A and B are shown apart, each in its own frame.
Chain A
Amino acid sequence: MREVSIAGVGSTPFGKLPDSGIVELAADACRDALADSGIPRERVQALYLGNFIGERLADQGALAPVVARRLGLDGIPATKVEAACASGGIALRHGYLTVTAGIHDVVLVAGVEKMSNIPTGDVTAALATAGDEWLEMRTGLTFPGAFAMVMQAHMARYGTSREQIAAVSVKNHDNGAANPKAQFRKPTTVEEVVNSRFVAEPLRLFDCPPISDGAAAAVVCTADIARQYAARSVRILASGQGSGPVALSGMDDLTSFPATVRAATEAFGQAGLGPGEVDVAEVHDCFTIAELVATEDLGLVPPGHGGRAVEAGETAVDGRLPVNPSGGLIAKGHPVGASGVGQVYDLALQLRGEAANQVDGARIGLAHSMGGCGAAATVHILARD
């Protein structure tokens, strides 16, 4: 296995981007990442592109070859990776695997989604395809509804309060306010969160991420090539992936996602590190409650302590363990196929000391991306090179 680095990263802003189509968004992020890496385009040997619902929302299939050709990379293997909202994170994993295994030396990884021009009911329906249609989604369940159920289960089992869950939204909005790539640049308050309108009771609008357009990209290569070209690179220490039940009714415990636990166990084992050694984390806060569960499943806090940790400021930028200093999906935005790569964009800036909400002395970063309601998850551990 070879040492693997991220030589460069790029990202479009996340938000409503009416002037760019799905191919332009992906190509823009890729060009940014290549320019940041200093690696000539001709050295790119493969493209892995995370995208969830481009066929349905942007009427474009075969997206990876289309993007490769737009970049002048015609002819290289170009593969779309789909794992619902974990698509981008798992695209990164495939890029990492081919480089560490010695198959390729330089791989371009990207994630993209184009959603904001589609009516909310149609976006809701498209996202719901990540659930089990026959067993659950045909009842009319939506993804906000699925996480509303997880929220109830967490509150009932651990006594997590409505205000603690709202504190995730407040923290992430505070962080997003300082992130120039974020869709939401305004702080909010617990009062505003708990009085916002219901999306799926008891979950409210400010518990949810926005509907977003956006793309992010990373140039993944051997550590030797990164040293040769890149001014500032970061190392990929580990990559884990797991899967879990697609249906909520198939989960024994609605307060924990086995896919995340498996991915984290694998990644920490590979890295030879424990959760206590993580300096900064970007986790999959597709809803406020999802961030609490993620911090518990990743071992960053004990089971049931997620609510207390956020309320006490432990996960704030200046806390014991900063979580989602980018603003997370809730404030930065959630162009679903891009989000996993967007996390890596933000972590790379953290580890290079260039982030908007810079965590002092950050050396080890963790990215966690989850698809569906725990159907798939991936965890990457990055380090300052």
Chain B
Amino acid sequence: MTSPPRLTVYRCPDDGQLVAARADACSTCGRSDLEPHEVSGDGFVVVWTTIHVPPTRYAGEAPYTVVIVELDCGLRTMGRLIGDSGRELGAHVWLHHVDTERGPIFEPVDPM
């Protein structure tokens, strides 16, 4: 089995605090020159929703599922979820890829 892709987040050079977006400042010390940092794309589903009424730009894609994932590093991030089997609080998912428009795309980790 090949290892899944990793996710780029941002890390405060002072205290190691991780944040999801480059535009954010460190939530602990306020420092803004954060450095890119790769973390595991593994995590669990905090909450999910399946969108049936989409915004115009994704009109042809509904229904699709969006999840908040708590990554193994403790940071929470949002992304799409492929398929139906991960639509469960606590479901184990990992990063499939990062889409240039839609951001992180996760998939359920097959329990088999």
CB closest chain-A residue, reference B81? A139
How many Å lie between the Cα of A142 and that of B61 in the bound state?
A: 13
* Known contacts A152-B48, A249-B68, A139 near B53 by CB under 8 Å: no
Q: Does B91 lie at the interface of the complex (its beta carbon under 8 Å from any beta carbon of A)?
A: no
Q: What class of interface size applies to chain A in its complex with B?
A: 35 or more
* Known contacts A135-B20, A152-B47, A249-B78, A140 near B61 by CB under 8 Å: yes
How many Å lie between the Cα of A252 and that of B3 in the bound state?
A: 30
Q: Does A115 lie at the interface of the complex (its beta carbon under 8 Å from any beta carbon of B)?
A: no
Of A6-14, A192-200, A326-334, A375-383, which stretch is located at the interface? Answer: A192-200
Q: Does A221 lie at the interface of the complex (its beta carbon under 8 Å from any beta carbon of B)?
A: no
How many Å lie between the Cα of A192 and that of B63 in the bound state?
A: 22
Assess whether B102 is in contact with A139, with CB atoms less than 8 Å apart. Answer: yes
Contact partner of B56 (CB less than 8 A), chosen from A122, A148, A199, is: A122
Q: Which chain A residues numbered 266 to 288 have a C-beta less than 8 Å away from chain B?
A: none
Q: Chain A residues with Cβ under 8 A from B46's Cβ?
A: 153, 254
B residues contacting the other copy or chain, number (CB 8 A): 32
CB closest chain-A residue, reference B69? A249
Q: Does A248 lie at the interface of the complex (its beta carbon under 8 Å from any beta carbon of B)?
A: yes
Q: Does B1 lie at the interface of the complex (its beta carbon under 8 Å from any beta carbon of A)?
A: no
Assess whether A156 is in contact with B89, with CB atoms less than 8 Å apart. Answer: yes
Assess whether B49 is in contact with A135, with CB atoms less than 8 Å apart. Answer: no
Q: Does B55 lie at the interface of the complex (its beta carbon under 8 Å from any beta carbon of A)?
A: yes
Q: Does A240 lie at the interface of the complex (its beta carbon under 8 Å from any beta carbon of B)?
A: no
- Give the shortest distance, in Å, between A254 (CB) and chain B (any CB): 6
Contact partner of B49 (CB less than 8 A), chosen from A121, A122, A132, A148, is: A148
Assess whether B58 is in contact with A140, with CB atoms less than 8 Å apart. Answer: yes
A153-B46, A200-B50 are known contacts; what are 7 more A-B pairs with Cβ within 8 Å? Answer: A121-B56, A124-B55, A139-B66, A156-B89, A201-B52, A201-B63, A250-B20
Q: Chain A residues with Cβ under 8 A from B77's Cβ?
A: 135, 249
Assess whether A198 is in contact with B52, with CB atoms less than 8 Å apart. Answer: yes
Q: Does A138 lie at the interface of the complex (its beta carbon under 8 Å from any beta carbon of B)?
A: yes
Assess whether A125 is in contact with B56, with CB atoms less than 8 Å apart. Answer: yes
- Give the shortest distance, in Å, between A132 (CB) and chain B (any CB): 8
* Known contacts A135-B78, A152-B89, A249-B77, A141 near B57 by CB under 8 Å: no
